[in-house]
Structure 1
Amino acid sequence: MTKLDGIEQVGAMNISVGSFEGQPITPAWPADAGAIGRSKRSYRVAVYTAMVVCDLAAVALAFLLANMATHGALFAGFGLRMAGITLPIFILFAIKNRAYALDVLKDPTRGTIRAVLCLMVAAALVMFVLYGLGLEGGGAAALLGGACVIGAALLAIARAVPAMLSSRLLADNPLHELVIIDGSTQRPPMGCTVLKAEEAGIVPDLSDPFMLDRLGQVVRGFDRVTVACAPNRRADWSFVLRGAAIEAEIRCDSLYRALGRAPHPVHTGPIRPLPVLDYMLKRALDVALVLPAIIFLAPLMIMVALAIKLESDGPVLFVQQRLGYGNRLFRMYKFRSMRSDRSDASGRVSASREDDRITRIGRIIRATSIDELPQLFNVLNGTMSLVGPRPHALGSTADSKLFWEIDRNYWLRHASMPGLTGLAQVRGFRGATLEQEDLENRLAADLEYVQNWSIWLDIGIIFRTFGVVVHRNAF
């Protein structure tokens, strides 16, 4: 069983990676990795933004020129209306059809072709709608056709600008990649950020949450991870990386030989990290809802804080390390509902209906889920989401077993951001985990959520949560 002593003392790591067979190795401790990763990501965002701006400018100019050709004036009203209808449709199609995707950074021509095709489809859709409404007159066909022809040429020219920007900022590789060497005796390819697992003290150990947190902290600044290991270690590394919320692959050959071979992809099933656009959409929903929620609920939270302080000694907030995104530990906030001298930092003992550790105010706020409101600030700082698998304390047990001892698939739920509410909660799976079945029901719902995520699923769960705020298992 994993030792959970010293739970409050998990902190920053100092990893010394030295060299590999005389070749200097780029250090990959979390602070440096994060800084480099963020710079790469910010450069990619800058290039994507330039693509969108250049595409919009090219298509808008194409409509103006087509307006001149068909109506004798750049700013004729009909052409401007057609442009106003077509441009948003074009951008939506371009985003959906990966005109602004990672492979476009590596192959600008591919991005240009996708953008041109999206413009043609958008124009055809507008023409189809106009025809259906009987509004195809006024030279719409000539205008849209001319805009497509001119737009194709202008898109090819405009896309040269972000292509040059990408080449300058991202060079040959738009990704920040890490190679982890585990038992391999081969020299890694030049130009990689390399971490030797043995020297960093990292092993793919599914029974050690602190080790998984250590690995999660190392890989969090990277876009992709490649592990070079012996064949008998492939399964362990593959499983660990599936829960680390990062694109990854395993290579069991020499790294040099493996470059010409197909690697073993880690994310071959439905458990995979969210694409960047989906992650940004989920984060945007969180921020858009949590900011007004904090303002609206501020008076209630202040009153609860005063009541807690007046009833018993101790801090207003209960702060506990929990397992979160990418199997990384984070500090989760709750209103303190128990006597401070009897709080359980490890979470070994689940609260019971007649638990004498719970204060009078604590019993009220637990029954109404008000004790969870400080987690709105976790959502705001990005360690949690409004919707996702509920984060658990390290010492949480069911039938006297740690959760991951019951089912190792438990770690896969952390491929998603932990949530204030989740699919398991709206299905009624909440409260104490006394039996093994209690954990299995929640885990099944959590993995179903991770596999089937959509923004509409999140919105549906948020609405359904209002029906289970007060629940018979909330005590």
Structure 2
Amino acid sequence: MTSTTPDILARKAVAEPARGGAEKTREVRSPGSRRGPFRPEMWRSLRQREGVRLAPHLFRLIDLALLAAVTVAVLARLAPELAAAPLALAGPLALAAAAAAAGLKASGAYAFRSARPELHQLGRAAAATLIGAGAAGAAFLFLGSDTDAAALWASAAFLALGGAHLIYAGLVRRWREGGLLTSSVVVVGATKEAETLITRALEQRRLAVLGIFDDRRGRAPENLAGVPVLGGSQELLTHRLTAYVDRIVIAVAPAAQARVRELITRLSALPTEVTLLFDPRADQDLDAALDRLAGPAFAPLEPVNPARRAFNKRMQDLLIGGLALILLAPVMALVALAVRLDSPGPIFFRQRRHGFNHEEIVVWKFRSMRHEAADATAARQVTSDDDRVTRVGRFIRATSLDELPQLLNVITGEMSLVGPRPHAVGMKTGDVESAKLVADYAWRHRIKPGLTGWAAIHGSRGPLHTPEDVRRRVKLDIEYIERQSLWLDLRIMAVTLPVLLGDRLAVR
């Protein structure tokens, strides 16, 4: 339920890790501009932006590796027999590396909030190096040893960290200018509050307002401050723009409580955070609203947070998915040969499916049907005696070998190893589009789709022939999203093969 606190913003739901940042944009001076204040060619989907927004976790791993390498290198120089290095030398240098790593995190070195990130990052690297050198020097003095090792370590550490952070800052600047760190919103309600928000967003260049939706067709203007009115709230539910949106901002007068509740109920079907914008009474209130909507460029490096969980999941996909792709390459080559020899047509079948946050992605499979009978929209779902399926197709569908090319989707970041199975765009159950059978259907798009998942190992695999099948799968998918963790993913992957092989009667 939405809070009614005095804060200018009340958050209704959070779908994915907090995102934010800023980008250089051009202000549209003509309020009648049809393009709006942000260029469509600068728009980036949430999946594209998610990768760079997880970069601080990768940067920190690199820094830890650099500090470890510097420490080992200094030890090797001072004690050629590394294994025999005295504890009085190794201990203070290890303390220096730990103190420098803590100093980098404490100083906000992975936030990149500055407009001139290169100089600030160099300063933070220097400060962390001094902290580490000071800790090592104090330890050497306590042990009665020479502090020359601390000076040598400091020189090497500053060169390594300083160079790395200059590279990080350059990357962040490029991402910011390319729109990859800019929070994108759509506004529901062509109101004066919405116009005030858009105008201030243009002035501060921190937030991209991609469009406005308003149900008052006859009274709504064509645009507000150059941002076009694209339709009503019902059209927002299926609009292609949603794949690019971090948040939906409801800018309806709070006095219209019934209208606000109706909008929240309707928009809760989307996998996107919904935020209420109350009437700002002062500039500082509006700035506070922008702070909440734009957010930091990167999520903070807390011990447990959604951004860290997403980063761990991406690393898991790259490491395990990459290894699986290498090990299964001979199997995939044999399947490709069998498909080619069995029936005329291409080896692969490509289909547009829904990915993270409603984004449409192209999913790869080995072709299991006759080429002329392929159904890219899944308007007719597969049955046990389906005459469209080839001989080889029956085998690779029964063993799920036809799904192996989706490892490529995993490596490119469009899919994950574990998650809700991606459904075809426009897939039907009977004569009704599956997405219209369950109110919470879109919630399964709050995470990347997967090769396998919680629903798959609980028997919900393959076609969905009845509304009850759709409801059960959505229930299991949402249950997974709420419970997702590294250990649950590993458990699902471990039991996937035995479950699939033990269920030979399933239609897939």
Query: TM-score, normalising length from structure 1?
Result: 0.66
Instruction: Name the aligned partner's letter for residue 242 of structure 2.
Output: L
Q: Deviations over 1:218-272 (max 9, x none)?
A: 33xxxx5463522536764787588556x66332435966526779989xxxxxx
Instruction: Name the aligned partner's letter for residue 305 of structure 1.
Output: A
Distance in 2 between residues matched to 1:408 and 1:425, nearest whole Å: 21
Q: Structure 2 residue aligned with 1:176, among 182, 195, 202? A: 182
Instruction: Name the aligned partner's letter for residue 205 of structure 1.
Output: Q
1:368–1:474 Cα contact (<8 Å) kept: no
Instruction: Name the aligned partner's letter for residue 259 of structure 1.
Output: L
2:267–2:274 Cα contact (<8 Å) kept: no
Q: Shift of residue 46 of structure 1?
A: 7.8
Long gaps (5+) in structure 2: 1-26, 75-83, 136-140, 214-227, 254-258, 294-304
Q: Structure 1 residue aligned with 2:241, among 200, 214, 221? A: 214
Q: Structure 1 residue aligned with 2:209, among 189, 194, 201? A: 194
Secondary structure in 2 matching 1:195: strand
Instruction: Name the aligned partner's letter for residue 335 of structure 2.
Output: V
Q: Which residue of 1 aligns with 2:343?
A: 312
Distance in 2 between residues matched to 1:308 and 1:168, nearest whole Å: 43
Query: TM-score, normalising length from structure 2?
Result: 0.62
Q: Which residue of 2 aligns with 1:287?
A: 318
Secondary structure in 2 matching 1:330: strand
Secondary structure in 1 matching 2:471: helix
Instruction: Name the aligned partner's letter for residue 33 of structure 1.
Output: W
For residues 260-275 of structure 1, the aligned pairs below 5 Å read 275=306
Q: Which residue of 1 aligns with 2:473?
A: 442
Q: Shift of residue 468 of structure 1?
A: 1.9
Instruction: Name the aligned partner's letter for residue 230 of structure 2.
Output: G
Distance in 1 between residues matched to 2:93 and 2:278, nearest whole Å: 54
Q: Shift of residue 39 of structure 1?
A: 9.8
Distance in 2 between residues matched to 1:40 and 1:311, nearest whole Å: 41
Q: Structure 1 residue aligned with 2:234, among 198, 205, 221? A: 205
Q: Which residue of 2 aligns with 1:367?
A: 398
Instruction: Name the aligned partner's letter for residue 459 of structure 2.
Output: G
Instruction: Name the aligned partner's letter for residue 234 of structure 2.
Output: D
Cα gap change, 1:314 to 1:254, in 2 (>3 Å): farther
Instruction: Name the aligned partner's letter for residue 349 of structure 1.
Output: R
Distance in 1 between residues matched to 2:449 and 2:57, nearest whole Å: 30
Q: Which residue of 1 aligns with 2:43?
A: 33
For residues 50-449 of structure 1, the aligned pairs below 5 Å read 53=63, 77-83=86-92, 86=95, 102=111, 176-182=182-188, 183-185=190-192, 186-187=195-196, 188-189=199-200, 190-192=203-205, 193-197=208-212, 199=228, 201=230, 203-205=232-234, 209=238, 211=239, 213-216=240-243, 218-219=244-245, 224-225=246-247, 227=249, 229-231=251-253, 232=259, 236=263, 240=267, 243-244=270-271, 249-253=275-279, 259=286, 275-398=306-429, 400-449=431-480
Q: Shift of residue 462 of structure 1?
A: 0.9
Distance in 2 between residues matched to 1:297 and 1:432, nearest whole Å: 26
1:305–1:316 Cα contact (<8 Å) kept: yes
Distance in 1 between residues matched to 2:318 and 2:486, nearest whole Å: 14
Cα gap change, 1:299 to 1:55, in 2 (>3 Å): closer
Identify which range, 80-89 or 255-264, moves more after superposition.
Answer: 255-264
Cα gap change, 1:242 to 1:407, in 2 (>3 Å): closer
2:187–2:251 Cα contact (<8 Å) kept: yes
Cα gap change, 1:264 to 1:426, in 2 (>3 Å): farther
Instruction: Name the aligned partner's letter for residue 481 of structure 2.
Output: V
Distance in 2 between residues matched to 1:382 and 1:254, nearest whole Å: 39
Identify which range, 192-201 or 351-360, moves more after superposition.
Answer: 192-201
Secondary structure in 2 matching 1:467: helix
Cα gap change, 1:390 to 1:36, in 2 (>3 Å): closer
Q: Deviations over 1:396-448 (max 9, x none)?
A: 33464323222221111111010000011111211332222212221111111
Q: Shift of residue 77 of structure 1?
A: 2.8
1:28–1:195 Cα contact (<8 Å) kept: no
Distance in 2 between residues matched to 1:177 and 1:448, nearest whole Å: 28
Instruction: Name the aligned partner's letter for residue 506 of structure 2.
Output: N
Cα gap change, 1:90 to 1:407, in 2 (>3 Å): farther
Counting matched residue pairs gives 409
Secondary structure in 2 matching 1:321: strand
Cα gap change, 1:320 to 1:328, in 2 (>3 Å): same
- CA-based RMSD of the aligned residues comes to 5.4
